[in-house]
């Protein structure tokens, strides 16, 4: 019978130490109920019951882990944006080249007339 008491005490002490360490290392955002300091006191004052309460009530369920910063070369959205930027730069470069070719080859482009004007200079006396 004495062996059982010693084994139970060792298991209870190990469970209490594990509970205290787990409570101390748990992220503050996952703690439910009172603050971590109060939970540690409960675990120390009520060795087995405090640890059981910590694991059942105080320790929140693990949610989605906080997003870690991702290096730009590992971020698919960043790489996609780079690809889109490169495509757009290439498109702009081609359009500029086509415009340069048009300006150098042919006659000057006709000037478009303003549909509201009759070809004469606007009357500025009103301004």
CA 16 to chain centre: 36
Note whether residue 112 is domain-resident: no
- Same domain for 6 and 51, yes or no, is yes
Q: Is the pTM of this model over 0.95?
A: no
Note whether residue 35 is domain-resident: yes
Note whether residue 126 is domain-resident: no
Note whether residue 76 is domain-resident: yes
How far is Cα 40 from Cα 102, in angstroms, rounded to an integer? Answer: 79
Determine the structural domain holding residue 19 and report its residue range: 2-58
- Same domain for 20 and 54, yes or no, is yes
Note whether residue 63 is domain-resident: no
Helix (H, G, I), strand (E, B) or coil at 121: coil
Residues in CB range of 33: below 8 A, 6 or more apart: 39, 57, 58
DSSP one-letter string for 15-51? HHHHHHHHHHHS-GGGB-SS-HHHHHHHHHHSHHHHH
Backbone phi, then psi, for 55, in 5-degree steps? -75, -30
Note whether residue 98 is domain-resident: yes
Note whether residue 127 is domain-resident: no
- Same domain for 53 and 78, yes or no, is no
Predicted pLDDT at 11: 93
Nearest CA to 42 out of 7, 62, 31 is that of 31
> In tens digits, what is the pLDDT along the chain, a chain of 127 residues?
788 889 999 999 999 999 999 999 988 888 888 888 899 999 999 989 999 998 898 887 766 655 666 676 677 777 777 777 778 888 898 988 888 888 776 565 555 565 555 555 555 555 4
Predicted pLDDT at 36: 87
Note whether residue 124 is domain-resident: no
- Same domain for 23 and 53, yes or no, is yes
């Amino acid at each position: 019978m004495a062996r059982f008491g010693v084994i139970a005490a060792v298991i209870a002490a190990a469970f209490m130490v594990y509970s205290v360490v787990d409570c101390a290392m748990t992220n503050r955002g996952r703690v439910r109920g009172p603050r971590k300091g109060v939970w540690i006191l409960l675990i120390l004052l009520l060795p087995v019951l405090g640890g059981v309460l910590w694991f059942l009530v105080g320790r929140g369920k693990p949610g989605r882990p906080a997003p870690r910063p991702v290096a730009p070369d590992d971020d698919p959205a960043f790489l996609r944006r780079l690809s889109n930027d490169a495509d757009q730069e290439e498109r702009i470069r081609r359009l500029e080249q086509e415009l340069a070719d048009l300006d150098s080859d042919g006659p000057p482009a006709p000037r478009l007339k303003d549909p509201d004007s009759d070809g004469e200079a606007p009357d500025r006396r009103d301004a």
